[in-house]
Amino acid sequence: MPPGDPRGPAGATVVQRFLSRPNESLTRYRALRRLEARNDRFNLDGWLEARTELADGRFSYVVVGEGGSDYIRSRVLRAVLENEERLFATRDASQSAMTSANYELRGVEAAEPGSLRILIKPKRREVALIDGAAVVTLPEGELIRVEGRLAKNPSFWTKRVDVVRRYTRVAGVRVPARVDSVAQIRLAGRSTLSMTFEYEMVNGIRVTPPHAVALRPDR
């Protein structure tokens, strides 16, 4: 096995560090989100900004600005927020966490310099789980990205959804930083969506000034 091979002892150590990290719960937050979506076939795009909050296990949002296609805003962007609101109301957030209860680890492979890809397989067909890989830093084992395909399509009209979720730390807690997805929609074809976050409070700690974590898609 060549030096630096992720399948060797060094890679195993990083995976163990990743697995041994405590499950940090994001229990409360306030954040401004910006969502943008586009459909290529019909040449439609739209954007929406919303103040979002998670408190006492309940997710809520208030739209503060929007523009572009009415169809994109109502059927895509608002639908994303409504679906998140519904998920928090009907299931435990731990069901989508990166834990051994939800995922099997299938191996490791090299990623970009300074990181390692851990191949993951959902144990259930859930729309909140991803079949793909978790990318962690070397040598810390810090999760920075999850990428792959949704384990379950969100609706009959969606044939598949490829997702990249990026993470960072705010007030010492790992939080979502950016979500990018490409969906294949029946009749409508390829549609893209991006969502960025600007945090104002995380787990009761006020973030001053608000922490913007709108990362470029290629990072």
Q: Is residue 217 part of a domain?
A: no
Residue 25 lies in a domain: no
| Tokens coding 73 | 């805003």
Three-state SS at 95: helix
**What is the distance between the alpha carbons of residues 35 and 180, in angstroms, rounded to a whole number?**
10
Q: For 43-190, where are the alpha helices, taking DSSP H only? A: 70-72, 78-90
14 inside domain: yes
Q: Is residue 24 in a domain?
A: no
Q: How many domains does the chain have?
A: 1
How far is the C-alpha of 112 from the C-alpha of 171, rounded, in Å? 26
pLDDT at res. 139 = 87
**pLDDT at residue number 164:** 97
CA-based diameter of the chain, in Å?
A: 56
Q: For residue 162, count other CB atoms closer than 10 A to its CB.
A: 15
Question: Do residues 87 and 98 make contact, with C-beta atoms less than 8 angstroms apart?
Answer: no
Q: Does residue 146 belong to any structural domain of this protein?
A: yes
Indicate the burial class of 159 (C-beta count within 10 angstroms; 0-12, 13-18, 19 or more): exposed
Task: Indicate yes or no: pTM above 0.75.
Answer: yes
In a domain, 123, yes or no: yes
pLDDT recorded at residue 75 = 85
127 occurs within a structural domain = yes
Domain that holds residue 14: 9-18+30-212
Give the whole-angstrom CA distance, residue 66 versus residue 44: 14
Provide the β-strand partners of residue 158: 185
Q: Is there a domain that residue 130 lies in?
A: yes
10-residue stretch averages of pLDDT, the chain, 219 residues long:
54 79 82 96 96 94 97 90 87 77 90 92 90 93 94 80 95 94 85 96 88 51
